[in-house]
Structure formats: structure tokens, C-alpha cells
Amino acid sequence: MSTQTITQDEPYRYAHLLPVFPRDEHYPPLTPFDHVDPGARALGHANPRAFLDNATSVIELTPHLGTEVHGVNLAALDSDGRDELALFIAQRGLAVFRNQQDFIDSGPDFYLEWGRHFGRLHIHPTSGHPDGYPELHLVYRDANTTFNFEVNDSLTPTVWHSDVSYELQPPGLTTFFLLAQPSSGGDTLFTSQVSALKRLSPQFVAFLKTLKAVHSGVEQADFSRSGRRGGAIRRDPVEYIHPVVRRHPVTGEEALFVNRQFTKRIVGLKREESETILKFLYDYIDKSPDNQARAKWAPNTVVIWDNRVTAHSAIIDFADSKERRHGARITPQAERPIPALAGLDLSA
């Protein structure tokens, strides 16, 4: 097997989780599956927030998005606790769990078992993964290397996105943690697509609900094919049509579902019309800090978000320090996006 592996000269505690790029690894197209959201089960619990009973601190990061939690050991949650977690994330969009060394040090087999509780695990078509664990998506940057999907010819590499939104069934509850981090910087920004939608005028929202857009993985595949991401293309790139406004299957909340990285055009509109609407929405998402929250990384932090109702971006403000930033993402897929407008035809 021909592989490219990123290494460092000094011993590294998480060397077994460094990324590899097997060149002979190829997977068939993903097939549809029935997704049952575990958060729905928690609605029937006597106390749907029971998993927080032992928390020592539960603090809202912002009124509309994000909660920081101390005192809950994620690795010890049973099935009911994980269901309750899924409901909580659906409601708050994002949660930052501190002091999670047990979780992080439980290892890749545990990561897979954890993720499968929340859906079918996604194998990223181009990114690096630990050797033998293609279901674990890695981000990595050090003094010499990066394979992250960054735009280096822009004023800022910050690009809002919902992970792999080009899939027929994009991710739902998503878990991410850093194995190594710079001493300063490298935080992650999140924005609430629910809050963003609510601030738009009712007339405009009604129009947006009638629209559907193409989400494409072609550009990401081309980026990898160019050699800037290890050259790995494990699955042929796909494009799918999703509603511009989707409805969450558990909370019923409606959210924008467009992002600058993967949404390419609005179906049925002329090019100038599509570009104008998408540019307005992207600029609005970029420039509305009242809808945003910032996850500040600290050792042994685990961040969990609902990819259906949020977008996010890493902040690459630490590159000059030459320090390592190494993260792992557990990415269960969810349902095909449900249109907020009942009966919207998602065919071309």
C-alpha cells in the first residue's frame, strides 16, 4: 500500500492518530439509509436533561447558540444519556464539554462506537485519517504541513461551512476534539442558521423556502487531486440538491442550509439571480456576530454540534507560531434534509 504519512521528529503521544492517505483506498457511492434521530427518543424521557444532573457548571455561550458544560463525563454516558445529549445539542446547536480526558484517551475504537449511536459513520472522500480508521476525519497543521481545505489566496482563510453538505444525507450530531493545539489561537467559530433565518423578513423567508440549491463536492475533490490534500479521492465526488431552508426532524426548528464552501447555485434561477441571493446570504452569515459563538480550545475539550442547524469555520491565526494543531472528528450522517416548505420537489 502506497501511503503518505505526516510525522514529526519528536515523540508524540497521539502518533497513532496521525493522518495517512492510502492511494489504493476507494469506496463505492454511498447508499441511502433510514436515519432514526436518537434525540427523538429523549423526548419521551421523564427528564430529557438528566445527563446534566451531575454537571458542576452549565453556562450559555450566547442566548441563541452554544453551552459550556463542566462536570459531565461524556465517556460514561449510557444509551439514555447519549439520547438526551442528542436532544440537547439539537436545541442549543453547540456544546463545549471541558475536562474530557477519559473520552479523548479512550481511543479510536471507542470513537467509532460513540459515533454509531448517533448515525451511520461518514468516511470522508478526500481527507486524512488514522491508519486503519477511515471513519475518523482528521485536521492537521504543523510547521511544515497542512492538508486542510484552506484558501491561501484570500485575505482570510475563514470559510463558513456545514460539513460535507454535498452528501445526500449530510451529518447531524458531530463530535470534534483537538489532540494537540497551539498555545494561542486556533479557535472555532460557529453560527446559528436558526437564529440567522429568524432575523430575515417573513416575506423573504417565505421566498427562500421555495428554493433549492446544488451542493457540490467537486471542488474539494479537485483540491485533493491537485496534490494539496494528499491526492486521496476515496469516493467519486457527488452533487445533491437540498432545500435552502430545512426543518429539524426533532425540534421542528427551521434553519438556513446554504454555505459558501459547498453550495454552488440555486436551482431554477438565472445565474445572476442565484449569485445575488447566495452572496447576500453568505455575507449575512459572515457578518452577523449576534448569531455566532466562539469555541475556545483548552486541553481535553470536546465540542459537539448539530451540523443541520449550524455552520462553522476554523480560525487559522496561529500559522506563524509553527505549532501543531491536530484534531479528530466523528461524523455520523443524518436524514436527507427535510424542506421547511412541505412538498418541495428536490429533483433537478
Across the chain, which has 348 residues, the per-10-residue mean pLDDT values are 48 94 91 98 97 98 98 98 98 98 98 98 95 96 73 74 98 98 96 98 98 96 74 90 98 98 97 98 96 97 98 90 94 98 93
Can you read off the three cell numbers belonging to residue 212? 433549492
Q: Please report the pLDDT score of residue 212 as a whole number.
A: 98
Q: What share of the chain is helix, strand, coil (3-state, %, to 5)?
A: 25, 25, 50
CA dist list (Å): 317 to 19, 142, 145, 151, 185: 22, 13, 15, 13, 6
Q: Please report the pLDDT score of residue 2 as a whole number.
A: 38
Q: Please report the pLDDT score of residue 11 as a whole number.
A: 87
Count CB-CB contacts under 10 A for residue 102. 13
Nearest in space to 335 (alpha carbons), one of 137, 100, 51, 119: 119
Cα 122 from Cα 128, distance rounded (Å):
13
Cα 328 from Cα 85, distance rounded (Å):
19
Q: Please report the pLDDT score of residue 231 as a whole number.
A: 67
Cα 194 from Cα 152, distance rounded (Å):
30
Model confidence pLDDT, tens digit, residues 160-213: 999 999 999 999 999 999 999 999 999 999 999 999 999 999 999 999 999 999
The CATH architecture to which 37-337 belongs is: 4-Layer Sandwich (3.60)
Cα 172 from Cα 164, distance rounded (Å):
11
Phi, psi of 202 (to 5 degrees): -55, -40
Q: Please report the pLDDT score of residue 4 as a whole number.
A: 44
Q: Please report the pLDDT score of residue 3 as a whole number.
A: 41
